């Protein structure tokens, strides 16, 4: 005789389409009922893509149907439409007019990558610091980072920001370091919170980050998206009113394909491309010569195919990693380094692109 626990266990083998994570850890399984040899599974999913629930239902039927003693599997699927992309308030006053928390945020920009490990968070943090320096010198408003990486929130460590955010009038206050205001799941959970609990928290947390954080006056909010281009990321970019997106990639030509997939996600929700940043582009030798360790051309190729520009190329520099580990981004610790100068050059272009829009 099959039992419910057996069904719940085996449901962990059903992956969310396009993800390596399963539907149980994503919190999609609402109920499992068993009546003799008949199983009924209730699933709730938020997606605009009808193929996602179809694929999940088919996989659930097949997987649960393989349990000995189960003759029939019924799947009850509840599909929620993701929120529509909130339209920016228009012109330079931008921001999400319908969302009070974001009203004082002039421009929100996403930093995304097709896959993990390309240095997306490193780039987001250094870019935010570079933007902050330029804007402060010009007497303009502040800069923030919203760290949306639930599984590996690394922004607080990289920015040397620690502590528990305070709550004031039901709003979360970001934590500030080097003049950059940050909010991250890393502030709200302990490192040993089981990853399975985080799945169901994703959308709720991001909605909180989008609606319940008192950023104050911000000129630019950098949104560090989780790596990848799946449905969860899509829901995310629909939750936050974005003025544009930056894609981070690495120089190997094959990386361009992965990066392009990321960019297509923004097309779906009409978020314009602001440009491509190529990371780990070259290593500078003691003689000043450049060595292309990971090949060449990935950034330019990605930019060409997205019809946007290559904003810059960040060298592979051990001091960048050391800066991340010590919580002092290289833009702050060594502004004269080639990497820091490149970040500032990129930040300048981003500001120009935003103002032009």
Q: Which of 320, 350, 351, 354 binds ligand ADP (CB under 6 A)?
A: 320
311 neighbors 346 (Cβ within 8 angstroms): yes
**Residues from 59 through 78 that contact ligand ADP (CB under 6 A):** none
Rounded to an integer, what distance in angstroms lies between the CA atom of residue 121 and that of residue 112? 9
Q: Which of 25, 47, 121, 182 binds ligand ADP (CB under 6 A)?
A: 121
When the beta carbons of 122 and 273 are compared against ligand ADP, the nearer one is 122
**Least distance CB 321 / ligand ADP (angstroms):** 4
Query: Would you count residue 329 as binding ligand ADP (CB under 6 A)?
Result: no
When the beta carbons of 56 and 259 are compared against ligand ADP, the nearer one is 259
**Residues from 183 through 242 that contact ligand ADP (CB under 6 A):** 227
Query: Would you count residue 122 as binding ligand ADP (CB under 6 A)?
Result: yes
Residue among 213, 215, 186 nearest 201 (CA): 186
- Contact stretch for ligand ADP (CB under 6 A) within 6-14, 113-121, 285-293, 348-356: 113-121
DSSP-assigned beta bridge partners for residue 29? 43
Query: Would you count residue 324 as binding ligand ADP (CB under 6 A)?
Result: yes
Only one residue has tokens 């659930």, namely 60
- How far is C-alpha 147 from the geometric centre of its chain's CA atoms? 7
Query: Would you count residue 118 as binding ligand ADP (CB under 6 A)?
Result: yes
Tell me how far CA of residue 259 lies from CA of 229, 251, 262, 308, in angstroms. Answer: 9, 11, 5, 13
- Contact stretch for ligand ADP (CB under 6 A) within 9-17, 116-124, 164-172, 235-243: 116-124
**Least distance CB 152 / ligand ADP (angstroms):** 7
**Least distance CB 259 / ligand ADP (angstroms):** 12
Q: What angle do helix axes 255-268 and 231-239 make, rounded to 10 degrees? A: 50
Rounded to an integer, what distance in angstroms lies between the CA atom of residue 284 and that of residue 290? 5
Tell me, what DSSP letter sits at residue 272? P
Query: Would you count residue 337 as binding ligand ADP (CB under 6 A)?
Result: no
DSSP-assigned beta bridge partners for residue 175? 182
CB within 8 Å of 92: residues ≥ 6 apart: 106, 355
Question: Which residues of the chain form contacts with ligand ADP (CB under 6 A)?
Answer: 113, 116-122, 154, 227, 279-280, 314, 316-317, 320-321, 324
């Amino acid at each position: 005789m099959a039992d419910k626990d057996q069904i719940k266990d085996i449901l962990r083998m059903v992956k969310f389409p396009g993800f390596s994570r399963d539907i149980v850890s994503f919190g999609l399984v609402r109920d499992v009922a068993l009546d003799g040899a008949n199983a009924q599974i209730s699933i709730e999913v938020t997606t605009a893509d009808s193929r996602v629930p179809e694929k999940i239902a088919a996989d659930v039927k097949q997987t649960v149907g393989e349990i000995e003693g189960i003759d029939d599997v019924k799947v009850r699927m509840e599909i929620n439409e993701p929120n529509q992309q909130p339209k920016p308030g228009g012109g330079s006053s931008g921001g999400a007019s319908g969302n009070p928390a974001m009203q004082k945020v002039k421009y929100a920009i996403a930093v995304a990558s097709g896959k993990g490990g390309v240095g997306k968070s490193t780039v987001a943090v250094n870019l935010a610091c570079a933007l902050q320096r330029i804007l402060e010198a010009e007497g303009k408003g502040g800069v923030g980072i919203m760290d949306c990486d639930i599984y590996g929130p690394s922004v607080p460590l990289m920015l040397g920001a620690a502590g528990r955010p305070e709550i004031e009038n039901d709003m979360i206050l970001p934590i500030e370091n080097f003049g950059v205001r940050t909010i991250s799941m890393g502030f709200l959970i302990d490192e040993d919170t089981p990853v399975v609990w985080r799945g169901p928290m994703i959308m709720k947390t991001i909605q909180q980050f989008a609606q319940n954080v008192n950023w104050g006056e911000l000129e630019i909010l950098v949104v560090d998206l989780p790596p990848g281009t799946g449905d969860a990321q899509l829901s995310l970019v629909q939750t936050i009113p974005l003025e544009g997106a930056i894609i981070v990639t690495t120089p190997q030509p094959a990386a361009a394909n992965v990066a392009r997939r990321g960019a297509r996600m923004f097309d779906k929700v009409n978020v314009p491309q602001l440009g491509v940043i190529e990371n780990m582009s070259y290593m500078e030798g003691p003689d000043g010569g450049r060595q292309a360790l990971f090949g060449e051309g990935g950034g330019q190729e990605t930019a060409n195919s997205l019809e946007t520009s290559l904003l810059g190329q960040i060298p592979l520099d051990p001091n960048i990693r050391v800066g991340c580990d010590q919580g002092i981004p290289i833009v702050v610790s060594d502004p004269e380094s080639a990497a820091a100068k490149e970040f500032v050059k990129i930040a300048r272009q981003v500001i120009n692109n935003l103002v032009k829009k």
